[in-house]
Amino acid sequence: MSRFVQGFDWDAGNRDKCQKHGLTLDEIESVFMGSPRIAPDLKHSIAEERLVAYGRTEEGRLAFVVFTFRERNGESLIRPVSARYMGQKEAKRFEESSEIDDG
């Protein structure tokens, strides 16, 4: 990511939605601590820029996180919007493309 991010923006508006598919807040944050692949989410970027992170949790599970950036008190924060584990087909594509990227 090209932005310098100081943390995460969690509140009642995104906590439950992000955890409803079984990921904890720590798991979601850990996706960003690794080397996620980031892509624009053009379909959902109407009111604000949305992005998608594809990566691994600290435990190694493959996850998909939709997020945006927010500015709060002069800090740039990642605001997760939705999160879930990758399905079997998504995980296979991710793994195959990782092999290509790794050369």
Residue-wise pLDDT for 47-56, tens only, equals 788 999 999 9
Domain count, the chain: 1
| pTM, entire model | 0.85
Complete edge-to-edge strand list for the sheet that includes strand 51-56: 7-8, 75-85, 62-72, 51-56, 37-40
Residues 28-70 have pLDDT tens digits of 999 999 989 999 987 766 778 899 999 999 999 999 999 999 9
Which structural domain, as residue segments, surrounds residue 15? 7-102
Q: What is the pLDDT of residue 100?
A: 58
What are the beta bridge partners of residue 35? none
- Distance between CA atoms of residues 8 and 29, nearest Å: 8
79 assigned to some structural domain: yes
Q: What is the pLDDT of residue 46?
A: 75
1 assigned to some structural domain: no
2 assigned to some structural domain: no
Chain centroid to CA 23: 11
